[in-house]
Structure 1
Amino acid sequence: MCQHAHDHADQAEAGLARAEAVCSERGLRLTPIRRKTLEALYADHRPVGAYDLADRISPPGGRRLAPISIYRALDFLVEQGFVHRLSSRNAFIACPHGHGADEAVAFLICEVCGGVDEDASPAMRSAIRGMAQARQFKTSYQVVEIVGRCEHCRNAEAA
C-alpha cells in the first residue's frame, strides 16, 4: 500500500468529525447519504466517480441508489469544503484539511497507482491571483492538477 492510502485512512476519523462539527456550526445536516458518501471517499485514496460511489454505498442486495442522489450529496460536500472534485478525472476525493474559500489547492495525481496528494501554498495562491488580476479575471475556484509519478511508484519501478 502506498503512502497516499496510509495518509487518507489516518485522516478519515478526524475528517468525518470535522464535517459533523462544521455542519452543526452552520446549521446544516450531514444526512445519512451525505455521511455514507463521505465515508466511501475516505475509504479510498484514489478519486472516485459518482457511479462507483452509488455502487459502494447502495445496500447489498437492495436497490442501487440513484446517481442523482449521489450527485446531490457530492454537491453539498464540495460546497462545504469536505470534498474536492478533480475535473481531469471527473471524480471526487475527501478533504480533511478545511481550506479557505480563496485558497489555491494543488493535487499531485500519480498516473501509476492513482493516489492523490494535496497541497496548498500562499505562493501558489499569490501566483494565480497575479495571473488573474493581470487579465482582469475573477476566479471562483482555484485548483491545479499535476499528473506524474509518486515516490512509491518511482521506487517500485527502479527496483
Structure 2
Amino acid sequence: MSEFDAIIDYVEQSCKTRGKKLTPKRKLVLQTLLHANKALSAYELLDYCQTHFKQPMQVMTIYRTLDFLEQELFVHKLTVSNQYVACSHILCEDEHGTPQFLICAKCNKINEQIIDPQMMIGLKSNAQQEGFTVVNSQIEINGICDQCVE
C-alpha cells in the first residue's frame, strides 16, 4: 500500500471512528491536495480536480469540503495566501499541536512543523500582556528554501 493510499484509508477510518463520513467529494478534495503536493486556493482546487481527475465541482462545495477537512485537522488553511494544504501529520494519532509553516517565496514549497508547546505558552502570555487574545496561533514564515538559494 502506498503512503497516499495509507493516508486515505486512515482518514476514512478516522472519520468513521468520529461518527463522520468521508464522502466522495471530501475524498476527492483531499486526494487533490495530496496529489498536488502544494497549497491550493479553492479555485485552484476546482481547476485541479477538473484537469487531473476529470471531476467537475462547484466552488461552494469545495469551500464546504475544505471547512470539514480543516475542522477534522486533515488540511490547514494558510491565512496569508488563502490557500489550503494537506496536513503533513495526518497519520500521526497524537495531538498535532500548533503548526508553523515555512513557505518558499520562489517555489512555494511548504514545510509544516509543530511548534514547541512551551514556546506557544510564552507567545500567548506575551500577547496577553500587550492586551491581545490569540485566536489563531498558527505561524506562517515566508523565506527561500535551500534548493532555490542554489
Q: TM-score range by the shorter chain?
A: 0.7 to 0.9
CA RMSD after TM alignment? 2.2
**Partner residue of 1:70 out of 62, 85, 108:** 62
Q: What is residue 110 of structure 1 aligned with on the other side? A: 104
Distance 1:66 1:140 in 2: 30
The normalised TM-score by structure 1 is 0.79
Counterpart of 1:25, as a letter, is: T
Per-residue CA distance 1:81-107 (angstroms, 9 max, x = gap) = 000000111110000315737x22110
Offset, 1:44:
1.9
Q: Answer whether contact 2:88 2:112 (CA < 8 A) is retained.
A: no
For residue 145 of structure 2, what is the amino acid of its counterpart? C
Cα displacement string for residues 38-95 of structure 1 (whole angstroms, at most 9, x for unaligned residues): 00001123210111111222463x7x31100000000000000000000111110000
Taking the aligned partners of 1:119 and 1:127, their CA distance within structure 2 comes to 18
CA distance in 1, matches of 2:101, 2:3: 17
Q: How does 1:125-144 map to 2 (within 5 A)?
A: 125-135=120-130, 137-144=132-139
2:28 to 25, 29, 36: 36
Q: Which runs of 5+ in 1 are unaligned?
A: 1-9
Q: How many residues align?
A: 143
In structure 2, what is the Cα distance between the partners aligned to 1:19 and 1:132? 35
The amino acid of 1:133's aligned partner reads: Q
Provide the residue aligned with 2:149 in structure 1: 154
Correspondence 1:92 to 2:84: yes
Range 82-91 or range 119-128, more displaced: 119-128
CA distance in 2, matches of 1:141, 1:118: 16
Which residue is 2:48 aligned to? 56
Q: Which runs of 5+ in 2 are unaligned?
A: none
Decide whether the 8 Å contact of 2:104 with 2:143 is kept in 1: yes
- Identity across matched positions, percent: 31
Q: What is the TM-score normalised by the length of structure 2?
A: 0.83
- Tell me the CA shift for residue 116 of structure 1: 0.2
